[in-house]
A and B are shown apart, each in its own frame.
Chain A
Amino acid sequence: MTKGVLLFCFDTPDFQYHKILEKCVALIKKNLRLQITVVTDFETFKNIKPLGFVHYKFIEPELGNKKHGLEWRNVDRHMAYELSPYDTTLVIDIDYFPFTDNLIQFLDTGYDFLISKDAHDLTNRNSFDTKRSSMIDMVWATVFVFKKGKKAKRIFNMVKYVKDYYAYFLDLYRIRDRRFRNDYAFAIALEQANGMITYDTMPMKLPTLPLDCRVLQMDEQGLAWQYNDQVNYTRGQDVHVLNKEVANV
């Protein structure tokens, strides 16, 4: 049984995502010690510094999605099943920095698909617990694990279907954010694929730094951030950083 990490990375005219990838890969190698496959395009690949033993898969990213008016190349996550060379795959966003080995054990469960429903706001403002208007629980597609087989394949097929009829599903589940977000696409697909009742989850809150936090410093143990005039830090704890300026730290 092969196990590995699958990452998606595409530079845009506004952000050099490959710099974030480089930080993430270093931490995966240090803390998770798993094989790594990066899904990218040739333009991005040319900018990535040598990362040692890493596999690459090249695709042309689907364009057209935007976030805050800027190009956002996030639409290809539904292809993770086909693109992964592993029997069991950990998919993580490149802006999720694994400062611990906490995630590795989730590759050894009997579950076919695991994803988290919760995030922990590291600034203590509970900014991810806002009252929702949607009719279903949201998930964080930032981190998920799947084991190749009928059940995972069915979930990914459903994600593709949801993506094709995305506007309809947003209306059906009263989701007001009209951008394509993997979080919503997977939440809807899991709801549909699991008979609209319930499904198994990864029981952990993803530690997350909101968009308005600026990362001041980062090393292999953790990072420090600033929010307004508050400076704080964390060490030995995974962190999902929403502010893409972390690329330049």
Chain B
Amino acid sequence: MDIGELKKQSEISYDIAVAKRNALEKAHARQVVVYNQHIFRADAETINLVKTLSESQTSPLLMLDMNNNPVEIPDPNEFLKILIERNQEAISSYLQMSKTFEKRGD
């Protein structure tokens, strides 16, 4: 066992873990969306809720923003489009960053 090599790999793993956590926080920050004067997060839960509600009832739909204030969404399809765009933009950036982690870990 080469303890020097193990130490080096451990340090690389630590650097990757820090970078990964920061990239995830960056993605979370990018997922925050202001729509109709309220604040939402374009995450899986919000997207699923908007899609489910929009399929099961006619507009407008009612939901809670990130401060738990009730909001009326007059055009759910427009809102869903914005949420999906922002979600994919954030995850795409995270994906690009994660590819650099793989290279560093090789």
Q: Does A105 lie within 8 Å of B29, measured CB to CB?
A: no
Residues of B near any A CB (own CB < 8 A): 11, 14-15, 17-19, 21-22, 25-26, 28-30, 32-34, 37-39, 41, 66-67, 69, 93
Q: Does A207 lie within 8 Å of B18, measured CB to CB?
A: no
Q: Does B37 lie within 8 Å of A234, measured CB to CB?
A: no
- Hey, what's the 0/1 contact readout for A88-125 against B, CB within 8 Å counting as 1? 00000000000010100110111100000000101110
Q: Does B93 lie within 8 Å of A236, measured CB to CB?
A: yes
**A65 at interface, CB cutoff 8 A:** no
- Residues of A near B32 (CB, < 8 A) are 102, 105, 203-204
Which parts of A107-163 form the interface with B (CB within 8 Å)? 108-111, 120, 122-124
Which of B17, B32, B37: most chain A CB closer than 10 A? B32
Cβ of A167 to closest chain B Cβ, rounded Å? 32
* Tally of contact residues, A, Cβ under 8 A: 25
Q: Does A201 lie within 8 Å of B67, measured CB to CB?
A: yes
Cβ of B14 to closest chain A Cβ, rounded Å? 7
Main secondary structure of the interface of A (DSSP, over half): loop
Which of B19, B28, B34: most chain A CB closer than 10 A? B34
**A221 at interface, CB cutoff 8 A:** no
For the complex, give the distance between the alpha carbons of A41 and B41 in Å: 40
- Residues of A near B29 (CB, < 8 A) are 100, 102, 204-205, 207, 237-238
Main secondary structure of the interface of B (DSSP, over half): helix
For the complex, give the distance between the alpha carbons of A108 and B29 in Å: 17
Selected A-B contacts with CB under 8 Å, 17 pairs: A102-B29, A102-B30, A105-B33, A105-B34, A109-B37, A110-B38, A111-B39, A111-B67, A120-B22, A122-B18, A123-B18, A124-B22, A200-B67, A204-B32, A230-B11, A230-B14, A230-B15
How many inter-chain contacts with C-beta < 8 Å in the A-B complex? 66
The residue on B at minimum CB distance from A203 is B66
Which of B34, B37, B39: most chain A CB closer than 10 A? B39
- Residues of A near B11 (CB, < 8 A) are 230
Cβ of B92 to closest chain A Cβ, rounded Å? 12
Contact of A203 among B17, B22, B67 (CB under 8 A): B67
- Residues of A near B41 (CB, < 8 A) are 203
Cβ of A104 to closest chain B Cβ, rounded Å? 9
For the complex, give the distance between the alpha carbons of A238 and B25 in Å: 11
**A217 at interface, CB cutoff 8 A:** no
The residue on B at minimum CB distance from A106 is B34
